[in-house]
Amino acid sequence: MTDYAFTQKPVTVPKVKSKFRRIVTPIPSPRSIPVLKKLSRYEPQSLHHELPVVWDHASDFQVFDASGNCWIDFTSGIFATNTGHSPPEICRALTRQLNQKLLHNYVFPSQVRAQLAQKIIAMSPLPLNKVFFLSSGSEASECALKLMRLHGHQLRQRKNILVCFDGSFHGRTLGAQMMSGKPAGKKWIRHIDPDIYHLPFPYCQKCPWGRPGYEKCGAWCFKKGIRHLKEKNINLDQVAGFMIESYQGWGAIFYPKDYIQALRLWADQHQCLVTFDEIQSGFARTGRLFAYQHYHVKADLVVCGKGLSGGLPMSAVLGRASILDRAPDLSSTHTGNPVCCAAALANLEIIKKHNLAKKAHDSGKILLSQLNKIKHKYPNVINLILGKGLLYALHIVSPNPDEPKNAARAGTMQKWAQKRGTKTCPVSQTKELDVLLGDRIIEKAMQKGLLMVRTSSGTIKIAPPLTITSEALVEGASVLEEAIKECVS
């Protein structure tokens, strides 16, 4: 985490007028300063670490402030607006629902909730055949925790253990944060659940077990992790389930396919559940409806949020009927809120009608091509580019690395590869990430009319709405390149 703060004092920047961007004032806009000050005074300071852009309205892949500035959005409102900002279909659905004068109905039945439940199950892969709607991703994660343990208790009394992963993030409520693999986020928790364990994340570019390269060793890596649990005297028959982010969010890092396949096989053999957290990755973002489908395995539970409703507060837990029906008290004040359901139903129809999963796959090739060109120009700044579909993360490093140290490591890796008759993985030489430089690049891009996701970890995440045009993708990438060039020079 860096202490770097985006300036809230207007900075005079070059004016921009392109097809998709417009910068006509100092940034941040002087007109936005009173709003920023008011929010800083009345809200927690933790809410004010993002870029100082006061959104007035947003349409498709563009964000506008009240001063006439316009940005290309490479954030999708933090992965919530996969179908674009304010699509007409969702706006019309919301207008119809408002005119119906039904804004809330607790868990009493409604037509729109029934339609949404049927729609999302029809789109979801088997064996997912029931859904429970909630309001936030953290709620959905908590629900999955509960369902995995209830399922375990049905099999045997102490089948209670949940296995999660270092570095993962499942939310900020108590259970979700204990499943998350970020120790700093748990400092406020006095009594950590003793039956939640974490395995090292199989980050092949920086192997947790010290191997110098990647040679299709995902299954080996999973078995190594299981042995690691056994060495801690954990009774593996008491494992109730695995909680898995379909990719590690901060760096867009996917698991090796054979790792997840080995995990799925082990879970079947030991009667435990596999839950995929798709809060950030779901709804066509990575080129499939759900990112876990890239691993060619089945899910027992899937946790959804963000991209489900096109921007309204709604989440869901998808699962097998035998799991969801077992819980006697699945209910919430805002379960299947009719306004959110109307938005989500329209959102899913857009995804299906326009085949946005395929569009994300195709547009992702264009984006990756542009990012690789930038990496070729700045290999000492962009160490890695990871992701799929319209989700990528640039791993930013200092442009002045310790060259002798890296050269020695490269030689060691080459010898390891030659010994095994394989090629050295081209991304195995991970370096220390430069958080400050990443933040400066994001701020510079904002001043030029491009918004990107800040992770405060040395990565820059790029996730534009899936509806973005190829032309806008290329323009956005050119802005990113300009920002890097100015920051490193």
Q: Do residues 348 and 307 make contact, with C-beta atoms less than 8 angstroms apart?
A: no
Element (H, E) at 194: none
Residue 401 binned pLDDT confidence (cut-offs 50, 70, 90): low
Residue 402 has pLDDT above 80, yes or no: no
Range 158-164 average pLDDT: 96
Range 125-131 average pLDDT: 97
pLDDT given at position 212:
74
Q: How would you label 395-406 residue by residue, b for 16+ Cβ within 10 Å and e otherwise?
A: bbbbeeeeeeee
What interhelical angle do 111-123 and 338-353 show, nearest 10? 30
Residue 436 has a CB neighbour count (10 Å cut-off) of 15
> CA-CA distance, 249 to 375, in Å (whole number)?
21
Range 6-26 average pLDDT: 96
Residue 207 has a CB neighbour count (10 Å cut-off) of 18
Q: Do residues 192 and 270 make contact, with C-beta atoms less than 8 angstroms apart?
A: no
Higher pLDDT among residues 425 and 133, named by residue:
133
> CA-CA distance, 185 to 178, in Å (whole number)?
9
Range 299-310 average pLDDT: 97
197: its two tokens: 């364990």
Residue 355 has pLDDT above 50, yes or no: yes
Residue 237 has pLDDT above 90, yes or no: yes
Annotated domain spans of the chain: 16-86+357-397+432-488, 88-353
Domain 16-86+357-397+432-488 and domain 88-353, same fold? Reply is no
Q: Do residues 186 and 390 make contact, with C-beta atoms less than 8 angstroms apart?
A: no
Contacts of residue 346, defined as CB under 8 A and 6 or more positions apart, other chains included, come to 87, 89, 90, 92, 93, 310
Residue 209 binned pLDDT confidence (cut-offs 50, 70, 90): confident
* pLDDT mean across residues, the chain: 92
Residue 430 has a CB neighbour count (10 Å cut-off) of 16
Residue 419 has pLDDT above 70, yes or no: no
> At the top level of CATH, which class does the domain 16-86+357-397+432-488 belong to?
alpha beta
DSSP calls for 239-308: EEEEEEESEEGGGTEEPPHHHHHHHHHHHHHTT-EEEEE-TTTTTTTTSSSSGGGGGT---SEEEE-GGG
Residue 420 has pLDDT above 60, yes or no: no
Residue 427 has pLDDT above 90, yes or no: no
- What are the beta bridge partners of residue 120? none
Range 47-75 average pLDDT: 95
pLDDT given at position 430:
63
Residue 332 has pLDDT above 70, yes or no: yes
Using left for φ > 0, alpha for ψ between -120 and 50, and beta otherwise, residue 411 falls in alpha
Choose the most confident range, by mean pLDDT, from 216-220, 340-344, 406-410: 340-344
Higher pLDDT among residues 7 and 214, named by residue:
7
CATH 3.20.20.10 fits 88-353, yes or no: no
> CA-CA distance, 410 to 416, in Å (whole number)?
10
pTM of the model: 0.92
pLDDT given at position 2:
57
Range 155-179 average pLDDT: 93
Residue 339 has pLDDT above 50, yes or no: yes
- Phi first, then psi, for residue 192 (nearest 5°) are -75, 135
pLDDT given at position 417:
36
Residue type, position 371, single letter:
L
pLDDT tens-digit series, residues 95-119: 999 999 999 999 899 999 999 999 9
Using left for φ > 0, alpha for ψ between -120 and 50, and beta otherwise, residue 467 falls in alpha
Residue 407 has pLDDT above 60, yes or no: no
β-strand 301-304 against 315-319: which pairing, if any?
antiparallel
Residue 404 has pLDDT above 70, yes or no: no
- Residue among 337, 286, 285, 290 at smallest CA distance from 139: 337
pLDDT tens-digit series, residues 46-57: 888 889 999 999
Residue 411 has pLDDT above 70, yes or no: no
Q: Do residues 433 and 457 make contact, with C-beta atoms less than 8 angstroms apart?
A: yes
Which range among 112-126, 271-285, 348-362, 392-406 shows the weakest confidence by mean pLDDT? 392-406
Q: Output DSSP code: residue 158.
A: T
In percent, the amount of the chain with pLDDT more than 70 equals 93
- Residue among 163, 183, 181, 268 at smallest CA distance from 225: 163
Q: How would you label 28-52 residue by residue, b for 16+ Cβ within 10 Å and e otherwise?
A: bbebbeeebeeeeeeeeeeeeeebb
